[in-house]
């Protein structure tokens, strides 16, 4: 039997509502800070219940990138590019290596740029005219805009895989990259996810009665994962990129190895398209641990998806307890940055890796009164000093799509 190829992490980049680099965001994560704010930009929408969101601040993409770069990129692709530049630099990837045919790319978002789609649609909707429409607008609004634009920008010649699966877009990208390297198809993979803020994201969940509607005057206090007083999710935006690499390949070129992807799984509930399913959640974690060849008692922390919806958080807690059968430490970081949708899986994997490297466990913001329906897990509320060696990071999406990543120290 051929020896299984190990997959390591050699670069990471992030742009988030609590910091525009990995280091800055982790510092604020440790400090238990958040990036949720009131959104006066949404005042023109009469019926929207949720008026808070988490946005990336402090970046002028027009000043940072030349028009030649921006002409095919909406905000979602620019967030992806900003994070990927950081990750590529940290990994020390040369143009020769990226363009050599053994480097691939997997990247996702919930959709293309919603703000660009709005601009594209207005002339058609209101004047039935094509006048003023730009010929390259589609490149900014297409569902694989992040993957396509990053591949073009960095001149990637290996496989390119868009992963557009809503809340598992980022985690499926990391998982796909892991599988590509382990199978020997590529030696390096650029992986991640991004999401831009647009009112249509909030409206989507508002219509499903899944957004936080009672904290518009107190954005500090929402969202509230696992808390008895939670009333729904808060949308956020971010970009997050991981560079994955075959272990011997990374060693041979002298790259700093940050950690290892030990295992990955994805499965479908095969049930309701939006309702959380504890059985599917449990199954994907079991499959990931099996793939990683890691026993459940070795896991030091579970990075929960937990978006602060009434049903989803309890279902996830029940599934987690069913797998580990002990009070394993668990927390959700969505209280810090909201639900960053297509970016969250990659961002949470990056933060999980930093917890291992820096020796801490992130807590759940706004978890004051634990929902009594939650089983007896070790719900981490404040930043905790620790030395985690193995972290499981879980994400769940509409369509019953489930993912689980097992990350470890090298």
Contact 338/53 with Cβ under 8 angstroms?
A: yes
* 3-state class (DSSP) for residue 156: coil
Instruction: List, by residue number, the catalytic residues.
Output: 167, 305, 339
From the list 313, 394, 386, 306, the residue with the least C-alpha distance to 354 is 386
> Nearest-CA neighbor of 212 among 204, 196, 221, 223?
223
Contacts of 404 (CB under 8 A, 6+ apart): 264, 265, 266, 284, 285, 287, 288, 289, 392, 393, 394, 395
Give 195's Cβ-side CA count (13 Å radius). 34
Q: State the Cα–Cα distance between residues 193 and 346, nearest whole angstrom.
A: 6
Per-state percent for the chain, helix, strand, coil, to nearest 5: 40, 20, 40
Q: What phi and psi values does residue 397 have, to the nearest 5 degrees? A: -130, 165
Angle at alpha carbon of residue 175, lines to 170 and 180, rounded to 5°? 125
Q: Tell me which H or E stretch contains 405.
A: strand 401-408
Number of neighbours of residue 228 by Cβ within 10 angstroms: 14
The residue with tokens 């190895």 is: 257
Contact 146, 83 (CB under 8 A): no
Burial tier of 67 (Cβ tally within 10 Å: 0-12, 13-18, 19+): exposed
Q: How far apart are alpha carbons 6 and 189 in whole angstroms? A: 13
């Amino acid at each position: 039997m051929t020896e299984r190829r190990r997959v390591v992490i050699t670069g990471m980049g992030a742009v988030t509502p609590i910091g525009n680099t990995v280091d800055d965001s982790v510092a604020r994560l440790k400090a238990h800070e958040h990036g949720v704010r009131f959104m006066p930009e949404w005042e023109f929408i009469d019926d929207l219940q949720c008026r808070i969101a988490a946005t990336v601040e402090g970046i002028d993409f027009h000043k940072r990138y030349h028009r030649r770069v921006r002409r095919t990129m909406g905000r979602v692709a620019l967030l992806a590019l900003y994070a990927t530049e950081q990750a590529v630099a940290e990994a020390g990837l040369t143009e020769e290596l990226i363009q050599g045919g053994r480097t691939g790319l997997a990247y996702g978002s919930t959709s293309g740029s919603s703000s660009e789609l709005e601009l594209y649609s207005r002339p058609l909707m209101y004047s039935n005219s094509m006048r003023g429409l730009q010929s390259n607008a589609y490149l900014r609004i297409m569902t694989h805009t992040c993957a396509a634009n990053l591949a073009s920008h960095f001149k990637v010649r290996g496989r390119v895989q868009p992963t557009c699966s809503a809340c598992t877009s980022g985690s499926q990208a990391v998982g796909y990259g892991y599988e590509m390297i382990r199978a020997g198809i590529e030696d390096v993979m650029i992986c991640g996810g991004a999401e831009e803020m647009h009112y249509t994201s909030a409206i989507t969940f508002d219509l499903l009665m899944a957004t936080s509607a009672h904290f518009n005057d107190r954005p500090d206090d929402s969202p509230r994962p696992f808390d008895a007083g939670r009333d729904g999710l808060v949308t956020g935006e971010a970009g997050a990129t991981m560079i994955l690499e075959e272990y011997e390949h990374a060693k041979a070129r002298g790259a700093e190895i940050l950690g290892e992807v030990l295992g990955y799984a994805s499965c479908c509930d095969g049930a309701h398209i939006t309702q959380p399913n504890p059985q599917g959640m449990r199954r994907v974690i079991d499959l990931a641990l099996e793939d990683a060849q890691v026993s459940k008692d070795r896991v030091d922390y579970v990075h929960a998806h937990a978006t602060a919806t009434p049903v989803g958080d309890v279902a996830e807690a029940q599934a987690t307890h069913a797998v580990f059968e002990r009070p394993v430490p668990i927390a959700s970081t969505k209280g810090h940055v909201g639900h960053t949708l297509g970016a969250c899986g990659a961002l949470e994997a990056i933060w999980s890796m930093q917890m291992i490297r820096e020796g801490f466990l992130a807590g759940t913001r706004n978890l004051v009164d634990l929902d009594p329906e939650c089983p007896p897990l070790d719900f981490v509320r404040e930043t905790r000093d620790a030395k985690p060696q193995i972290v499981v990071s879980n994400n769940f999406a509409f369509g019953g799509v489930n993912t689980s990543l097992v990350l470890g120290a090298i």
